[in-house]
């Protein structure tokens, strides 16, 4: 295995971070009010594609001061399976449903085996700065991702 487990937090105290959205990525809404709407949309998509199951993966990633990549607590995998459809006689529209659903939320971090960025440096006027090469960071996260999904699917299967 190419990963090492660590505790629930990879740093203590206050951490400042920046968020960068991924270009051209469809962002399915999160939260309690979106759950049923998303499940129906996923059931319709599964019906149209002819698949039995849909996975929605939301991962939180980060770096520590030594340049190691992490999949962070709060990362989630949602599974929707068994798409069905029925005609709504009042509206005359087809309604889509899923017969099974489940989710898994990570409680601990998974750390990369090797650093993916330079060690943090202090720069006057900027504070602690980590120079990140996006290809190297992406490669480090993608090495962690298959193990994370496999663990999640094994847990959901039980």
What's the pLDDT tens digit per position in 1-47? 233 333 334 444 444 555 555 555 555 666 667 777 777 888 888 88
107-135 burial: b if 16+ Cβ within 10 Å, else e: eebbbbeeebbeebeeeeeeeeeeeeeee
CA–CA separation, 60 and 67 (whole Å): 16
CA–CA separation, 68 and 118 (whole Å): 9
Q: What are phi and psi of 141, to 5 degrees?
A: -65, -40
Q: What local confidence, expressed as pLDDT, does residue 7 receive?
A: 38
Could you tell me which residues are beta bridge partners of residue 93? 88
Count the residues in the chain: 158
Digit-coded pLDDT (tens) for 93-125? 888 888 888 888 888 888 888 888 887 777 777
Is the overall model pTM greater than 0.95, yes or no? no
Q: What local confidence, expressed as pLDDT, does residue 157 receive?
A: 64
Residues 6+ apart with CB under 8 A from 36: none
């Amino acid at each position: 295995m190419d990963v090492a487990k660590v505790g629930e937090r990879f740093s203590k105290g206050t951490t400042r971070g920046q968020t960068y959205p991924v270009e051209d990525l469809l962002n399915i809404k999160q939260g309690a009010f979106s759950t049923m709407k998303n499940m129906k949309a996923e059931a319709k998509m599964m019906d149209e594609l002819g698949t039995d199951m849909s996975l929605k993966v939301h991962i939180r990633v980060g770096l520590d001061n030594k340049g190691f990549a992490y999949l962070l607590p709060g990362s989630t995998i949602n599974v929707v399976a068994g798409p069905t459809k029925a005609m709504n006689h009042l509206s005359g529209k087809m309604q889509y449903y899923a017969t099974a659903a489940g989710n898994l939320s990570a409680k601990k971090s998974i750390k990369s085996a090797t650093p993916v960025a330079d060690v943090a440096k202090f720069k006057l006027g900027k504070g602690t700065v980590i120079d990140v090469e996006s290809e190297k960071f992406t490669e480090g996260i993608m090495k962690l991702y298959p193990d994370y999904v496999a663990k999640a699917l094994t847990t959901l299967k039980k």
